[in-house]
């Protein structure tokens, strides 16, 4: 850590204008070259570790990444400054489907498919693409300022993580927690693979609801469906056992239209008798609920579509695509008089492959699954007993909703890019799971062709990146991770999997102590960002235009735990203005006036303004620390913004101009106070706006780097309620005079003769020069004539406005304000005199009305006093 007590004698000159592009890239590379982000497992410092939610190797930086990375970087930078051995672990996910699709599209441009190359050559081609084009996001992370330990960068398909995946699979398999079975899964006919739930995006699509009559006469029954073609795979009709309409049919069979089959009518409590006709068609091989019904009643599973969603049932529809078969089946049913009703359009939720947009098919398929019951229970217990904290706490219920109701997890994917399932099949039907250090079977054995779901390997991320299954110094130092920062949208898909796998692999030790969940970035109207909506934003464009710091500041200022974050370009512009303000105040004012960092004199030697800003600074430090510990990023950044802009720049800098103009001891003390405040303010701001603070802090202090400077600590000795009250009174006086000047249309630089009656008798006696400087009030001359009087606290400001103000207009304005204040007073008095209101209104509401009354009466008193001082019309 670096502690600076004085600035260099030769102070470097800062450019007059802040140009982010001239600062950011150079500083980042300097940080990396000096090894500031490298974590040392042998260090005796307390550990602090966050793993990056691994971006896809195919991805590029979007606003969601920028938002999440800003929050993580802020946490890690602050802990590093606090003396922790801080590790932000970087890496990327191999993104099985997405990456394979990218390379297949490249091959298609050459008229080739992966099958033309063969599996081995295709995988080699993917590795080649990864080396040449993958990982673009890593460079963009540097643009954003991510303080990750690049020396530890990992990839979910690298040798070490592949070993971790095989080891984990083998252990789960040997413990009976991995099995192979036929189950209903999400299937993409385009990608021709099973999908996880997170790879399925649901939208409300227009469909066609048709009602079909099965059977004839008294033994007929009507069912409704949006997928008429799937009736070819029906093996039953289900009704509720208590539904009187169909009690006579239960146990009987009805004829399935367009086929020669008869199917049973079964009674199942899953059926809702109030929905539709109260009868449902059962297609066990193509619907998860139907599959469960089929299991309960021993129904056959009839697959009526192949992997490409083409009909396989023998007959006139065989070979048709599902979308060709649907109208053809409806037409055939209509021709037979089986269509009872049709509803077009019919809006219903439809799942689509997130990678290619194809409508997903529920499909019965032989796949590998994880038996999640014991793993999920352990993951739930870790939160319930307090070993892991979910923040904000109200999202715990969502977490428990997942872990307490998990279905077994389908982990196999019909891809070539990914971790190959380490199971071999022998010539006599033998099955063998082979660990990473075991010899593979010989001739006659074949390996399972499927690969593992990407989430399987990313579920190991908190410990596989640290060297597991080997007992490395990094694993010993940094596991469990300190906190996981991620979006609430992947609470189930990633967080729960890491919890299950971490607890299982690491002997019951959870992978992190806290899960800090954030929301999604939306546009300024709160709408989801999407290219189709035309509101998607490339963060790199905003970084080019306004700087990375401006984007980071905007995102962090909107980061309330667990809630979505609206963002608009004008807000980023405002943050750029904030950075520019820091630059101007530090370089254009403080440094130019000789501000320096050194030991402050005792409080009794400081002015009220000095004591006030020091009191406010150290209160802000304590406030910001509290917000950081509670992951209240927005509140921490907002507190810093208001202190920096409203208190330091708008008030203290202006107040400091008086002693600086005097010179001597007063000026020297002011320079020390300016340096003290700026030093700590820049360090407080550094985690969120690292670049501008680095440039300014090193110029101010001559220190090596703000990255390795100490985090400021609140010092109670500087707390000074008396000084705060005194300056608050000063601010009120100045603000009221400024408001009056604005109301009169006086030019900002126009000096007005004034007397400050009562100033010398009160707490503001020593501030006359500051008051006059801040309000542009000149001393009263011999010909002074009071034309307006402002009673403000214990001071009466008398002004000579001759030649400056239209008194008739001023009287009219004041009379209008007086009427409005009297109306407000009457309303408040009416409510407080109403017994019914007082009896029913909550105490806070009553107190609010009392406050409104007091404010109105104060306004009336002030306005009447001003009217009394105006010259007669």
Location of structure tokens 């105490």: 843
**Strand 339-353, strand 200-214: pairing:** antiparallel
Task: Judge whether 738 lies within some domain.
Answer: yes
Angle between helices 608-629 and 63-81 in degrees, nearest 10:
120
pLDDT at 6 over 70: no
| Residue 650 pLDDT | 95
Question: Is residue 297 domain-shared with residue 357, that is, in the same domain?
Answer: yes
- Residue 193 contacts residue 414 (beta carbons within 8 Å): yes
Helix, strand, coil tally for the chain in percent (to 5) = 50, 20, 35
d(CA 478, CA 472): 10
Question: 218: pLDDT confidence band, cut at 50, 70 and 90?
Answer: confident
pLDDT for 7 equals 43
The total of other beta-carbon atoms located within 10 Å of residue 290's CB is 27
For residue 414, being part of any structural domain is answered with no
Q: What is the mean pLDDT of residues 74-94?
A: 98
Percentage of the chain beyond pLDDT 90 is: 77
Q: How far apart are CA 469 and CA 507, in angstroms?
A: 12
Q: Is the pLDDT of residue 675 over 60?
A: yes
- Backbone φ and ψ of 868, nearest 5°: -65, -25
- Do residues 661 and 592 share a domain? yes
Q: How confident is the model at residue 342 (pLDDT cuts 50, 70, 90)?
A: confident
Contact 311, 322 (CB under 8 A): yes
Residue 665, Cβ density class (10 Å: 0-12 exposed, 13-18 middle, ≥19 buried): exposed
The mean pLDDT value for 128-150 works out to: 95
Confidence of residue 260 (pLDDT cuts 50, 70, 90): confident
- pLDDT: which is higher, 557 or 357: 557
Contacts of residue 852, defined as CB under 8 A and 6 or more positions apart, other chains included, come to 824, 827, 828
pLDDT of residue 191: 86
Reported as a single tens digit per residue, the pLDDT across 53-67 is: 999 999 899 999 999
- Taking 60 as the threshold, does the pLDDT of residue 873 lie above it? no
Checking if the pLDDT of 707 tops 90, the result is: yes
Same domain? For 709 and 742 the reply is: no
Residue after which a domain boundary falls, among 672, 693, 719 = 719
Average pLDDT over residues 574-593: 96
Q: Are 329 and 231 in contact (CB under 8 A)?
A: yes
Q: Indicate if the pLDDT at residue 10 is higher than 60.
A: no
Model confidence at 387: pLDDT above 80: yes
**pLDDT exceeds cutoff 90 at 79:** yes
Q: Which domain holds residue 789?
A: 727-869
* Residue 607 lies inside a defined structural domain of this protein: yes
Tell me what the mean pLDDT of segment 755-782 comes to: 89
pLDDT (average), residues 103-124: 95
**Res 11: pLDDT:** 56
CATH code at position 566 = 1.10.730.10
| Contact status, residue 714 vs residue 618, Cβ threshold 8 Å | yes
Strand partners, 279: 239
Among candidate residues 680, 583, 573, the one with its CA nearest the CA of residue 624: 680
Q: What pairs with residue 2 in β-bridges?
A: 709
Q: Name the least confident of 217-226, 344-353, 762-771, 790-799.
A: 344-353
Burial group, residue 187, by CB count within 10 angstroms (0-12, 13-18, 19+)? buried
Least confident of 186-195, 289-298, 418-427: 186-195
Mean pLDDT, residues 543-558: 96
8 A C-beta contact, residue 686 and residue 697? yes
- Judge whether 629 lies within some domain: yes
The answer on 783 and 691 residing in a single domain is: no
User: Does residue 745 share a domain with residue 715?
Assistant: no
pLDDT digits (tens, 9 = 90+) for 709-743: 999 999 999 999 999 999 999 999 999 999 888 88
- Is the peptide bond prior to 561 cis by the omega test (within 30 degrees of 0)? no
Sign of CA dihedral 651, 654, 657, 659: negative
Q: Is residue 279 part of a domain?
A: yes
Final residue in a domain of this structure, among 340, 362, 384: 362
Q: Is 477 annotated as a binding residue?
A: no
pLDDT band at 12 (very low <50, low <70, confident <90, very high): low
Lowest mean pLDDT among 417-431, 471-485, 658-672, 736-750: 736-750
Mean predicted lDDT score pLDDT of the chain: 92
Residue 550: what pLDDT? 97
Q: Which residues are CB-contacts of 652 (< 8 A; sequence separation ≥ 6)?
A: 609, 612, 613, 677
Query: Into how many domains does the chain fold?
Result: 3
Does some domain include residue 119? no
Is 70 exceeded by the pLDDT of residue 8?
A: no
Stretch 795-799: mean pLDDT: 90
The owner of tokens 């999997």 is: 497
The rounded distance, in Å, linking the Cα atoms of 124 and 37 is 33
pLDDT tens string 848-869: 999 999 999 988 988 887 787 6
pLDDT at 208 over 50: yes
pLDDT tens sequence across 13-52: 788 889 999 999 999 999 999 999 999 999 999 999 999 9
Backbone angles phi, psi at 502, to 5 degrees: -65, -45
Give the pLDDT confidence score for residue 3 in this predicted structure. 38
Query: What pLDDT does residue 527 have?
Result: 83
Start-to-end C-alpha separation, the chain: 70
CATH number of the domain enclosing 223 = 3.90.740.10
Residues 692 and 745 in one domain: no
Q: Which of 672, 692, 719 is the last residue of a domain?
A: 719
Q: Are 830 and 856 within one domain? A: yes
CA–CA gap between residue 572 and residue 551 (Å, rounded): 6
Q: Are residues 750 and 800 in the same domain?
A: yes
Instruction: Tell me how far CA of residue 348 lies from CA of 226, 344, 594, in angstroms.
Output: 9, 12, 69
Average pLDDT over residues 237-251: 94
For residue 462, what are the contacts with CB-CB under 8 A and spacing of at least 6?
51, 479, 480, 481, 484, 498, 502, 511, 512
DSSP codes of every residue in 354-373: TTT-PBPEEEEEEEEEE--H
Tokens standing for 71? 């929050």
Q: Could you identify the residue written with the tokens 């053809």?
A: 328
| Residue 713 to residue 625: CA distance in whole angstroms | 9
570 lies in a domain?
yes
Statement to judge: residues 706 and 772 lie in one domain: no
Average pLDDT over residues 633-660: 97
Same domain, 262 and 315: yes
- Residues 231, 307 within the same domain: yes
Helical H segments across 34-95, by residue range: 63-81
Same domain, 273 and 327: yes
Confidence of residue 783 (pLDDT cuts 50, 70, 90): confident
This prediction's pTM:
0.86
In a domain, 34, yes or no: no
**Alpha carbons 66 and 552: distance in angstroms, whole number:** 7
Q: Which structure tokens are listed for 375?
A: 């793993």
Confidence at residue 531, expressed as pLDDT on a 0 to 100 scale: 66
Maximum alpha-carbon separation in the chain: 117
């Amino acid at each position: 850590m670096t502690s600076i007590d004085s600035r260099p004698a030769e102070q470097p000159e800062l450019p007059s204008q802040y140009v982010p592009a001239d600062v950011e890239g150079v500083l980042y590379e300097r940080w990396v070259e000096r090894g500031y982000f490298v974590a040392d497992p042998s260090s005796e410092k307390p550990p602090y570790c966050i793993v990056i939610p691994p971006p896809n190797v195919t991805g590029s930086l979007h606003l969601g990444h920028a938002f999440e990375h800003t929050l993580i970087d802020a946490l890690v930078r602050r802990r590093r400054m606090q003396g922790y051995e801080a590790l932000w672990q970087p890496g990327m996910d191999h993104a099985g489907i997405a990456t394979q699709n990218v390379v297949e599209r490249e091959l298609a441009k050459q008229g080739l498919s992966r099958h033309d190359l063969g599996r081995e050559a295709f995988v080699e081609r993917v590795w080649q693409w990864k080396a040449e084009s993958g990982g673009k996001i890593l460079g963009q992370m540097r643009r954003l300022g991510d303080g990750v330990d690049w020396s530890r960068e990992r990839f979910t398909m690298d040798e070490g993580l592949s070993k971790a995946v095989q080891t984990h699979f083998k252990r789960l398999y040997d413990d009976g927690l991995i099995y192979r079975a036929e189950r209903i899964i999400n299937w993409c006919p385009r990608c021709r693979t099973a999908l996880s739930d997170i790879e399925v995006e649901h939208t409300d699509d227009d469909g066609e609801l048709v009602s079909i009559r099965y059977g004839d006469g008294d033994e007929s029954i009507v069912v409704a469906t949006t997928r008429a073609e799937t009736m070819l795979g029906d093996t039953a009709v289900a009704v509720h056992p208590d539904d009187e309409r169909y009690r006579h049919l239960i146990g009987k069979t009805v004829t399935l239209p367009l086929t020669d089959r008869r199917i049973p009518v079964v009674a199942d409590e899953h059926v809702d008798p109030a929905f539709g006709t109260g009868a449902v068609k059962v297609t066990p091989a193509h619907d998860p609920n139907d599959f469960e019904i089929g299991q309960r009643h021993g129904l056959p599973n009839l697959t009526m579509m192949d992997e490409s969603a083409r009909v396989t049932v023998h007959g006139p529809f065989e070979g048709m695509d599902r979308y060709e078969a649907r109208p053809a089946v409806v037409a055939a049913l209509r021709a037979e008089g089986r269509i009872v009703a049709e509803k077009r359009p019919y809006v219903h939720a439809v799942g689509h492959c997130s990678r290619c947009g194809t409508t997903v098919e529920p499909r019965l398929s032989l796949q590998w699954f994880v038996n999640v019951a014991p793993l999920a229970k352990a993951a739930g217990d870790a939160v319930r007993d307090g070993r892991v904290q979910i923040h904000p706490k109200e999202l715990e219920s969502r977490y428990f909703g997942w872990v307490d109701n998990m279905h077994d997890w389908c982990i196999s994917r019909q891809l070539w890019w990914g971790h190959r399932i380490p199971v071999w099949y022998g010539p006599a039907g033998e099955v063998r799971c082979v660990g990473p250090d075991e010899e593979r079977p010989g001739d006659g054995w074949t390996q399972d062709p499927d690969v593992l779901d990407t989430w399987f390997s990313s579920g190991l991320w908190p410990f596989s990146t640290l060297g597991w299954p080997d007992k490395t110094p990094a694993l010993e130092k940094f596991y469990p991770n300190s906190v996981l920062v991620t979006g609430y949208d992947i609470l189930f898909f990633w967080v729960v999997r890491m919890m299950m796998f971490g607890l299982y692999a690491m002997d019951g030790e959870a992978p992190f102590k806290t899960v800090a969940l954030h929301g999604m970035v939306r546009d300024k109207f709160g709408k989801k960002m999407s290219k189709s909506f035309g509101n998607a934003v490339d963060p790199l464009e905003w970084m080019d235009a306004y700087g990375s710091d401006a984007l980071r500041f905007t995102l962090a200022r909107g980061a309330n735990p667990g809630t979505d974050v609206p963002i608009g370009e004008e807000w980023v512009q405002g943050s750029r203005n904030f950075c520019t303000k820091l630059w101007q105040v530090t370089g254009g004012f403080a440094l130019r006036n000789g501000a320096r960092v050194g030991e402050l004199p005792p409080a009794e030697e400081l002015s009220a303004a000095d004591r006030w800003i020091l009191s406010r600074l150290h209160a802000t430090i304590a406030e910001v620390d509290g917000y950081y510990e509670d992951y209240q990023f927005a509140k921490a950044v907002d507190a810093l913004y208001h202190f920096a802009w409203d208190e330091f720049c708008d008030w203290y800098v202006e107040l400091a101009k008086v002693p600086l103009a005097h010179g001597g001891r007063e000026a020297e003390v002011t320079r020390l106070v300016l340096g003290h405040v700026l030093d700590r303010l820049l360090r407080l701001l550094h985690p969120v706006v690292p670049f501008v603070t680095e440039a300014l802090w090193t110029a101010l202090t001559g220190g090596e780097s703000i990255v390795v400077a100490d985090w400021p600590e609140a010092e109670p000795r500087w707390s000074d309620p008396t000084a705060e009250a005194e300056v608050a009174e000063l601010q009120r006086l100045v603000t009221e005079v400024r408001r009056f000047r604005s109301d009169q249309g006086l030019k900002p630089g126009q000096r007005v003769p004034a007397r400050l009656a009562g100033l010398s008798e009160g707490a503001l006696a020593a501030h006359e020069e500051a008051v006059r400087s801040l309000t542009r009030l000149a001393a009263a001359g011999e010909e002074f004539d009071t034309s307006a009087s402002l009673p403000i606290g214990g001071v009466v400001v008398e002004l000579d406005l001759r030649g400056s103000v239209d008194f008739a207009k001023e009287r009219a304005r004041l009379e209008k304000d007086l009427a409005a204040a009297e109306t407000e007073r009457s309303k408040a008095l009416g409510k407080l005199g109403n017994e019914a209101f007082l009896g029913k209104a909550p105490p806070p509401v009553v107190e609010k009305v009392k406050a409104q009354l007091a404010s109105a009466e104060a306004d009336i008193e002030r306005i009447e006093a001003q009217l009394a001082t105006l010259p007669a019309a």
